[in-house]
Amino acid sequence: MSALFSPISLRGLSVPNRIVVSPMCQYVADHGKATAWHLVHLGGLALSGAGILFIEATAVEPAGRITHGDLGLWDDETEAALKPVLAGVRQVSKTPVVMQLAHAGRKASSHVPWEGGHAIPLSEGGWETFAPSAVPQNEGDQPPLALDTSGLARIRSAFVAAAKRAEHLGLDGLEVHAAHGYLLHEFLSPISNHRTDEYGGSLENRMRFPLEVFDAVRAVFPADKPLGVRVSAADWIEGGWDIGQTIAFAQELKARGVDWIDTSSAGISPLQKIAAGPGYQVPFAEAIKKATGLPTIAVGLITEARQAEEIIAGGKADFIAVARGVLYDPRWGWHAAAELGATVDAPPSYWRAPPREHANLFRTS
C-alpha cells in the first residue's frame, strides 16, 4: 500500500490520504470578500485527489491584509461571501476544507505580486501596519506601529472572532499562520522583535503572543476539530529564528493540543540567503517530528509522486503540501495515485476519465 495514500485521523477528522493543497494567496478578493474566482479555484482544487484542501491565508482584520486583494473573515459581509463558495465546494467534493487564519503585520499594505509587491504608502492608498516593534520589513518603508496592550488585545480578539465565523461556515479545521514574516512570526524572530517588555527579548517572551493567539483560537474552536500552526523553521539569516527555537515553540504548542506543524521557512528579511532545492525544507519537518512526535506537513519543491512517497514512507513527515505544482497540474493527486498504484475519490461524472492502464484509479463504491 502506498504510504502517501494511507488514511490518517486528526481529532474527529478522517483524512483519506497525506496530500494537502497548500494555502495559496490569490489576491483577487473584493475588500476581503470571496468572489466567483474563489468558487472556481477552490472547487477545482477540491477535485485534485488531495486529502485536505487549505483555503488561502485569510486576514482576521482589514489591517492584516497583505494586499487589497487578500481574502478576509472579519465581519458579516466577508462571512456571507464565503458561504456560497464553501457550499459549492461541498456540493461537488467530500475533501475536508481547512482555513488558514492570518495577520500580515508589517508586511501588510503591499501591492499584489504582479504589480511588484512593494509597500503602498499611505499617500497612495495604503494603510497603517502593525508589528511587535517599529521596524520596517524593507529599508525605506514606512515603519509599522508597535503594538501596545490594546493593540495586542484587538488582534487576539480578531483571531477569535474569525475562528468563530469559520465554525459558522462549517470549516473542518483551522491553521494559525505564524510563518513567512507575517505578524506572529514577527513576534517570534529576534530580527523583527526588539521589544523590552514581556513580549520581547527571551525566547519565552517572544513566543508569548503567538501562544496566546493559539490558546484563544483553540478555546473557541470545537474540540473535535483540528487546529494546526504554520511556522517558518528558519529565517535563513544569522542571528534569526532557527530550527532549535522552532522545536521549542512546537513543544509549547504540543502542550496546548496543537494537531500539526506545517513546516515552511523564511520571509522575515530580504537579507535571507536560502539554499533552495528539491525538498529543501523537508529536514525541518523531520526534525520537528522527531523531537516532538507531532504530525508535520512538509512543504517546498516537492513536485514528484515518488519523492512525496519517500518522504511519508521514510517517516520524515505525515503530510505533503503541494502548492504551485497543483496549480500547474490540478489533478496532481490523481496522477500521483496512478503512479503509485493507489486509488482516490472522484465524482461519478469523471469516472470514465482515466486511461485504460489506470481504469481502477477511482473508488466507485
The rounded distance, in Å, linking the Cα atoms of 207 and 188 is 6
The rounded distance, in Å, linking the Cα atoms of 283 and 303 is 16
The rounded distance, in Å, linking the Cα atoms of 261 and 265 is 12
Tell me which of 27, 182, 280, 328 is the catalytic residue.
Answer: 182
The conformation of residue 100, written as its DSSP 8-state character, comes to E
Grid cell listed for 126: 495604503
Q: Which is nearest to 241 in space by CA: 258, 263, 224, 215?
A: 263
Give the pairing type, strands 319-322 and 296-298.
parallel
Q: Which value, to the nearest 10 degrees, does the dihedral of the CA atoms of residues 59, 61, 62, 63 take?
A: -100
Count Cα neighbours of 69 within 13 Å in the Cβ-side half-sphere: 14
Grid cell listed for 58: 485569510
For residue 278, how many other CB atoms are within 10 A of its CB? 11
Q: Is residue 213 exposed (0-12), middle (13-18) or buried (19+ Cβ within 10 Å)?
A: buried
Residue 199 a catalytic site member:
no
Q: Return the H-helix or E-strand segment holding 89.
A: helix 76-92
The rounded distance, in Å, linking the Cα atoms of 275 and 279 is 11
Point out the residues that are catalytic. Answer: 182
